[in-house]
Amino acid sequence: MDLNYIIAILAAGVVAGTPILYASLGEVITERAGILNLGVEGMMLVGAVSAFYVGTFTENKWLGLLVALIAGGLMALIHAVITISFRSSQVASGLALTIFGTGLSAYLGRSLVGIPPTSTFKAVAIPGLSQIPVIGKILFNQDIMVYLSVILVAILWFVFYKTKVGLLLRAVGENPSAVDALGHNIFFIRYAAVIVGGMLAGAGGAYLSLAYSPSWIENMSAGRGWIAVALVIFAVWDPRRALLGAWLFGVIASLGLHLQALGVMIPSNFLQMLPYVFTFVVLVITTRETKNRRSGTPAALGIPYSREER
Amino acid sequence: MKSKLLGSWEIKKTNSSSAMKKFGISVSSIVLGLLFAGLFVLITGKDPLKLYSEIFQSSVGSVYGLTETLVEMIPLALCSLGVSLAFRMQLWNIGAEGQFYMGAFGAAYFALFFSYLPILILLPLMMIAGFICGGLWALIPAIPKAFWNVNETISSLLLNYVAYFWMAYLVYGPWKDPKGNNFPLTKQFSESATIPVFGNTRISYAIFLVLIIAIAMFILIKYSKWGYEISVSGSSRKAADYAGMSYVKNVLKVMFLSGAIAGIAGMAEVSGVLHRLQQTISPGYGYTAILIALLARLNPFSILLVSFMMGGLLVGGFSLQTSGFPSSMVSMFQGSILFFVLAGEVFNNYRLVRKKV
């Protein structure tokens, strides 16, 4: 295996990791506010189908992305109403959202199967930086959504740890009654976090249908939403580690594909299992770690907030 | 709860809720769920009422539709009984789909390689194999859950994909029928590996299995000491520890049994309906089972009823394909119904009362 081949695998890994990165960042925001949303898979699918629909018919990928953000946000709003206002089970509501999104996207996309895309995100080399040996080809010869995702990581890191809004968001996930006592509106903060989280899941879906494999196929997210949820635990709710995890995952996935092309004598189905097995193992290892360090998990995660019961 | 939205009304917590009220809330949840999903059909320029009546007609509107609904009910009810046991202990086993596939795999092993055995030996062997394979598959997420509290929701779900690709490997690879024109199918099971059916229908005798397991489950949770332990461990781990119940052991046992029942469903499907392995042996029974268990509030007999309904919805979904709709769109209806069931919970636990001014 020569260097160019390794570079190609790593560059493809960044692309494969990007939809998961968007979804993971969304889930980090949601869980930081104390709400678990297992509907990521469903939100991604609805994002993917609406992005492809609008992007293809308006021939404008940006409009497609915008609509995916809105669609993901609206999906998340359902979860917010059920879990924040009605204080129902977050696990069950998230599952319902995934089931609903799978069906809704299949329904909306029924006439889109096999239609070629008209406007997609293509690689744009950054002048200068893309000339750096090795790294240039891996990181600076990608599409705009990849660059945006990296900028988003930086922004989120800044907001989380350097601003009052971030402090408030984290506090809501740790100790909502204290934040409430200070006079802040818990319900508003949680609604906002869940909706923004859904918008980013929608963006992850848009990446699938407008950049990663520009098309619409039923169930095209193929479990990436679940992998994104698992990566949040790996990331210890830190956007920087979400980036690391998503790219690591992407590289594993692209390695699987390339091993096949290289003619390695492993049946392709086992290589297809690789990302899921890898995520499972990572989930187990990181949960054990976090447990030992007793840090990371927002203390109020999954617990409905009610003023009268505080 | 102080909210401007509620005006002069307030929400009071109530601890009891009559059976009549619960039933009323469930029915209205289903109606509202169908209306909400219908909205999406409406805004895309289709008539939801026509769609619903087509689903209804093709499922329970004819004798054939009814028998097909029962065919679908068998795997749904079995998977749902399986997951409901885990849910009772607050274990979110959402890996029934994978456990179903692994159960089918275990059963198919005996069907393909011991086809010479008489039916009375082979069928029980297949059932035991399905039971054990499904159970072991559920143990994989159960072990890290029991010992290190690893989130079983995500881990059990991830394994569904692994099971799916394992099945693909088998039917595209070593178990492919050499005389099957290169289709990804195993060879057809022998007569002795096939659960008999009623008359001209496709309903297999596995329906008795559904009844037996539902009754056994009812007795287990209502009258056995272990059933009591499961519900105590589910509501509070601290209380369970204090009472000397081993949480770790119960997690492992409950998850194994939960997966094993889904494994039996897989066995019943390949032995009673499909008579061979293929790439896709389930239209998502394991996922629909979650919805059924929640809708039925984990009650084994309600699970039978809801499974029948959801079976009808699936049959209706298949018939929609002829009108150009994807059959998977029924999960839109399912998810939508579940939204309203969950939101309706609040009316079981709380009551709207007018504020005294």
* pLDDT tens column, B200-252: 899 999 999 999 999 999 999 999 999 988 988 888 888 888 888 888 999 99
Q: Is the pLDDT of residue A293 over 70?
A: no
Mean of pLDDT over chain B: 90
Identify whether the C-beta of residue A235 lies closer than 8 Å to the C-beta of residue A17. Answer: no
Residues of B in contact with A42 (CB under 8 A): 335
The percentage of residues in chain B with a pLDDT greater than 90, rounded to a whole number, is: 65
* Amino acid B327: pLDDT: 84
pLDDT tens track for B34-59: 999 999 999 888 888 988 988 898 88
pLDDT in tens, A11-52: 999 999 999 999 999 999 999 999 999 999 999 999 999 999
Looking at per-residue pLDDT, the higher value among B220 and A295 belongs to B220
Nearest to B1 among A95, A98, A307 (CB): A307
- Within 10 Å of residue A218's Cβ, how many Cβ atoms? 17
CB A35 within 8 A of CB A240: no
Q: Which residues 25-44 of B have a C-beta within 8 angstroms of A? A: 37, 40-41, 44
pLDDT above 90 as % of chain A:
62
Local confidence band at B168 (pLDDT 50, 70, 90 cut-offs): very high
Nearest one of B103, B109, B145 to B248, comparing CA atoms:
B145
Encode burial over B251-288: b for 16+ CB neighbours within 10 A, e otherwise.
bbbbbbbbbbbbbbbbbbbbbbbbbbbbeebbbbbbbb
pLDDT > 70? residue B13: no
Asked if A96 and B153 come within 8 Å (Cβ–Cβ), the reply is no
Q: Which residue has the higher pLDDT, A292 or B51?
A: B51
pLDDT at B322: 84
Chain A residues close to B160, C-beta within 8 Å: 223
Residues of chain B positioned with their CB less than 8 A from the CB of A222: 161
What is the rounded distance in angstroms from the CA atom of residue B107 to the CA atom of residue A214? 40
Contact flag A78-B339 (C-beta cutoff 8 Å): yes
- In B, minimum Cα distance to A279 occurs at B158
Q: How many residues does chain A have?
A: 310
Nearest by CB to residue A99, choosing from B154, B169, B331, is B331
How many CB pairs below 8 A link A and B? 157
Buried residues in A117-152 as b, exposed as e (16+ CB within 10 A): bebbbeeeeeeeebeeeeebbbbbbbbebbebbbeb
Q: SS3 of B354, please? A: strand
Could you say which of B287, B326, B346 has the minimum Cβ distance to residue A88?
B346
Which H helix or E strand runs over A142? strand A141-143
pLDDT at A51: 96
What is the C-alpha separation between A309 and A236, in angstroms, rounded?
29
- How far apart CA B128 and CA B112 sit, in angstroms, is 15
CA distance A96 to chain B (A): 5
Radius of gyration of chain A (CA): 19
B contacts of A107 (beta carbons < 8 Å) = 40-41, 44, 325-326, 329, 332
The rounded mean pLDDT for chain A is: 90
Min Cα distance B306 → chain A (Å) is 16
Nearest C-alpha in B relative to A278: B158
> Are A14 and A142 in contact, with CB atoms under 8 Å apart?
yes
Element holding A123 (H helix, E strand): strand A123-125
A271 pLDDT exceeds 70?
yes
Q: Express as a percent the part of chain A with pLDDT over 70.
A: 97
Q: How confident is the model at residue A310 (pLDDT cuts 50, 70, 90)?
A: very low
Give pLDDT, residue B17: 66
Distance from CA of B124 to the nearest CA of A (A): 31
Q: Do A277 and B342 touch (CB under 8 A)?
A: no
Pick from A191, A284, A301 the residue to mutate for testing the B interface (most B CBs within 10 Å): A284
CB A232 within 8 A of CB A31: yes
pLDDT recorded at residue B240: 83
Decide if B150 touches A, using CB distance below 8 A: yes
Amino acid at B89: M
Select the residue from A280, A281, A288, A291 to test the B interface by mutation, using most B Cβ atoms within 10 A: A280
Higher per-residue pLDDT: A139 or B21:
A139
Tell me which chain A residue has its CA closest to the CA of residue B156. Answer: A280
Q: How many CB atoms lie within 10 A of CB A4?
A: 10
Sequence letter at residue A241: R
Query: Of B173, B333, B338, which has the smallest distance from its Cβ to A267's Cβ?
Result: B173
pLDDT for A183-213, tens place per residue?
888 899 999 999 999 999 999 999 999 999 9
Q: How many CB atoms lie within 10 A of CB A265?
A: 5
Closest CA to B325 of B129, B26, B130, B46: B46
pLDDT recorded at residue A23: 97
DSSP element (H, E) containing B351: strand B350-354
A167 min Cα distance to partner chain B (Å): 25
Residue A291 is encoded by which pair of tokens?
């447990």
- Of residues B120 and B16, which shows the higher confidence score? B120
At A209, is the secondary structure helix, strand, or coil?
Answer: helix
A106, B294: Cβ pair inside 8 Å? no
Could you give the CA distance from residue B219 to residue A54 in angstroms, rounded to a whole number? 54
Are the beta carbons of B99 and B134 closer than 8 angstroms?
A: yes
Which of A273, A293, A297 to mutate against chain B (most B CBs within 10 Å)?
A273
Is A107 in Cβ contact with B332 (below 8 Å)? yes
What span, in angstroms and rounded, lies between the C-alpha atoms of B211 and B202?
18
pLDDT at B350: 64
Q: Which ranges in chain B belong to alpha helices (H)?
A: 19-43, 48-60, 63-88, 96-113, 119-148, 152-172, 206-223, 225-235, 237-242, 247-269, 285-295, 300-320, 330-349
- Six token digits for residue B15: 């601890």
What's the Cα-to-Cα distance from A149 to each of A169, A220, A242, A264, rounded to whole Å? 21, 21, 11, 33
pLDDT of residue B138 exceeding 80: yes
d(CA B278, CA B272): 14
Structure tokens at B351: 């009551």
Interfacial B residues in 281-310 facing A (CB < 8 Å): 287, 290-291, 294
Between positions 307 and 336 of B, the ones with CB within 8 A of A are: 324-326, 328-336
Using 50, 70 and 90 to split pLDDT, how confident is the model at B2? very low
